Amino acid sequence: MRLAQQSSLEPPPATRFICSPEVLIEELIRTGGTGETHNAVENTLKASTEYRRWQQSMPFLKFVPQIHAYRTEGDHMDHAALAAVNQEVIRTGGYLQEGQILYSGGNFNSESIEILDGPLSTSMHPSVARWHAINRGGQIAILKIAASGSVLGFVYKVTGNQKLKIEYEVLLQNDLRLNQSSICNLNGLEVRSYDVTLNDA
């Protein structure tokens, strides 16, 4: 009788199970991008062995001066400077795996988007995308890599002596196509999901 009573216990009310990027983003929007869900994502990223190895495979910023400059000057770089950043991403970055999810916040207001004006700044943390979407009056993009061995990315380290570590930033190479797979409105913010491929794929 006692065992039956124990097996019928339900999880505490505070327990939440996140089953998709959309549900995760909805919870982060609801809580203002702070709180337990934000911290849980951050702690998961910090504890991830795979994410740590990915960062360790990247060169230090002093060896990639264009990527280093993009960290603080990205929005103000001209076309030539952005092209130089992109060349460093292609030269030093690594291929992302099929199904890898990244987030970005900005002007994502079309079903099909070509990235032709420099690298695409993304984040491993959806709270970062939420902040940028609100700051720029745009949308949140959920980006899913469509095929392994196709899209190159440079991941910034989140440890050591460098700025903007809380961005959890990943720069994706130029010349990409984003194909929309879904769209929804979550607590007043438009969220679009895209499959990411090379532009000539």
- Between 17 and 66, where is the model more confident? 66
Residue 12 has pLDDT above 80, yes or no: no
pTM of the model: 0.88
**Does pLDDT of 110 surpass 50?**
yes
More confident residue, 120 or 12: 120
Question: What percent of the chain shows pLDDT beyond 70?
Answer: 88
- 184 falls within a domain: yes
> Bridge partners of 143?
102, 194
pLDDT of residue 2: 30
Domain that holds residue 112: 17-198
Task: Report the candidate in 125, 124, 158, 126 with the shortest Cα–Cα distance to residue 140.
Answer: 126
- What's the pLDDT at 164? 66
Q: What is the pLDDT of residues 115-137, one digit of tens each?
A: 998 899 999 999 999 999 999 99
Q: Report pLDDT digits (tens) over 182-194.
A: 999 998 999 999 9
Give the rounded distance of the alpha carbon of 102 from its chain centre: 3
Q: Identify whether 131 is part of a domain.
A: yes
Is residue 150 in some structural domain?
A: yes
How high is the mean pLDDT of the chain? 88
Residue 172 lies in a domain: yes
Domain of 96: which CATH number? 3.90.176
Question: How many Cα atoms are found within 13 Å in the side-chain-facing hemisphere of 138?
Answer: 18
pLDDT at residue 3, as a whole number: 31
Residue 101 forms part of a structural domain: yes
| Token pair of 29 as six digits | 């929007």
Name the pLDDT band for 8 (thresholds 50, 70, 90).
very low
DSSP 32: T
CA distance 117 to 131: 22
pLDDT tens digit string along 151-176? 999 999 887 666 667 789 999 999 99
**Domain tally for the chain?**
1
